[in-house]
Amino acid sequence: MTLTYTAAIMANMGHNSLKGMMKIDGRPMIEYVLDAVPEEAEDIVIMCMEEGVEEYEDVGQPYGARTLVGPHESMDVRSQLEPVFQNSKSDGLLVLRCDTPLINRNVTTFLAEIITKFSAGIPRLGIDRPEFIPASYRVSSFLPVMSENPSLPMSEVVRKVRNILYISAESMRVFDPKLRFLQRVNNSADASKAASILRSMREE
């Protein structure tokens, strides 16, 4: 089954509206995430805060990405995800974080392929630890549930959607033995460590 999908990169992270522009080896780290988006993606969206639109438009333009203004990162990820579901141009949706520069195309392609057969592909590091980002979703399976249940957190929304594939951490190690694609860069020390890892990966 062929399914078109939108790749959404969440750059509305807390109060740091330009977090994705943090430099790693001279490049904004969101570029590493954009590099990991599969070529098959029909549309690329960068969800950002209003004050960061110009910067993200500039960095996204070579990738054909558009920007979408969204809410700040909040306690529940649904508030970030719902506008992306509503503005997706495709029924498939691949959602990534701007601050995970170690993600790779093997991981993103795997997530995108899952939703050709399932309503969502959600990594789960433990029994009660689903990772809603990065993950993949079928918009048509989630939007009706969100509309009918406007106050439910994302953890409850997914319980109402059938045919979800939860992916164990061990399964993901096939693509990334150290699960580095989940590592988030929050400060200069993290950025320096990520740069070192990226250099070593290029040398392998």
* pTM for the model: 0.94
What is the model's pLDDT at position 170? Answer: 86
Dist. CA 123–CA 128, nearest whole Å: 11
Rounded Cα–Cα distance for residues 90 and 14 (Å): 27
The mean pLDDT of 129-145, rounded to a whole number, is 95
Domain count, the chain: 1
Taking residues 171-191, report their average pLDDT: 90
Would strands 120-124 and 135-138 be described as parallel, antiparallel, or unpaired?
antiparallel
Exposure string of 30-68, with b = 16+ CB inside 10 Å and e = fewer, is: bbbbbebbbeebebbbbbbbeebeebbeebbeebebbbb
| pLDDT over 90 at 147, yes or no | yes
Q: Which domain holds residue 48?
A: 5-203
pLDDT for 203: 73
Residues of the chain with pLDDT > 70: what percent? 97
Residues 182-202: what's their mean pLDDT?
90
Q: What is the pLDDT of residue 51?
A: 87
What is the per-residue pLDDT for 1? 54
What pLDDT is recorded for position 204? 65
- What's 89's domain CATH number? 3.90.550.10
Query: pLDDT at position 71, please?
Result: 80
Minimum mean pLDDT range among 51-55, 149-153, 200-204: 200-204
Q: What is the pLDDT of residue 32?
A: 97
Report the DSSP pairing between strands 65-69 and 43-48.
parallel
List the one residue out of 95, 106, 80, 92 whose CA is nearest residue 42. Answer: 92
Over residues 81-91, the mean pLDDT reads: 94
d(CA 113, CA 181): 17
Least confident stretch, 28-42, 45-59, 62-76, 161-175: 62-76
Tens of pLDDT, residue by residue over 50-83, are 889 999 999 999 999 999 998 877 778 999 899 9
What is the distance of C-alpha 134 from the center of its chain? 4
Q: Are 8 and 95 in contact, with CB atoms under 8 Å apart?
A: yes
- Does residue 127 carry a pLDDT above 80? no
Q: What is the pLDDT of residue 15?
A: 66
| pLDDT (average), residues 142-171 | 94
Please determine, for residue 17, whether its predicted confidence score (pLDDT) is greater than 90.
Answer: no
3-class SS of residue 112: helix
**What's the whole-number average pLDDT of the chain?**
91
